[in-house]
Amino acid sequence: MSALRVTTVRQSNEEATGTVLFLHGSEGSGEGILARIKEHLGDDWQFRHLRILFPTAPVMNYTPLGGAAANVWFDRHRLSPTVPECLESIEASMEMLKQLIEKEIELGIPLHRIIIGGYSMGGAMAMHLTYRMFPRVGGCFAMSSFLNDSSIVYKSLETNTEDPLPPLSMMHGDSDELVPMEWGAETLKQLQRFGVKGTMTIARNVPHELCKEHFINLTRWINNIVPHL
């Protein structure tokens, strides 16, 4: 498994007082997510007080591609809520991402001013990282994303002692055929059962892709969770 490379974005010379970790989808890259943000918003993202990290997933053999190598956060048997999770690959990526977050803490960023999120597979990885390893971060977001029905995230929350848990912002397109909106809604419902306070914003006539509406809503949410000091 290869090491992570990270694209970092800062908007000003201000000292960062918070961090956003944004994880891409399967076969994507950190640079690719940043390019889509520029495409939709015309700039790198306007947070004068935050450092934004766009890591690229390690290269691993990916079963849906016939075992070919790809930049993915974890392997999976197929894209379905009913299959078991490939935990070995999930755990390996969590350990690599843990190092990024610990580095931010070493730089002086408190956990409650760190937000973890992502798109599609990256959103799933963000929910694993947040609710299993860092339940004291400021918040989590998941765009066009999911957890499998038997996810270890749910099992971990059964014994959770953190109160409150980080809030969750989910965004989905109602025309998503790859990860149906109903799958995302069921994920949110299950997390709410365990005390996660979350919302889902629906983009009309949007398939499985990032859209401007999602980024506008996400920007507003991040500024509310980790405001400028």
Q: Is the dihedral of CA 62, 207, 19, 10 positive or negative?
A: positive
Per the DSSP assignment, residues forming a β-bridge with 53 are: 8, 21
Q: Which residues contact 79 (CB under 8 A, 6 or more apart)?
A: 64, 178, 179
**Rounded Cα–Cα distance for residues 57 and 24 (Å):** 8
228 carries an active-site annotation:
no
Write down the catalytic residue from 120, 144, 145, 169. 120
156 carries an active-site annotation:
no
DSSP labels, 78-106? SS-TTSPP-HHHHHHHHHHHHHHHHHHHH
149 carries an active-site annotation:
no
Amino acid at site 220: R
Write down the catalytic residue from 24, 172, 176, 214. 176
Write down the catalytic residue from 29, 149, 156, 208. 208
Taking Cα atoms as reference points, which of 127, 133, 124 lies closest to residue 95? Answer: 133
Active-site residues, by number, are 120, 176, 208
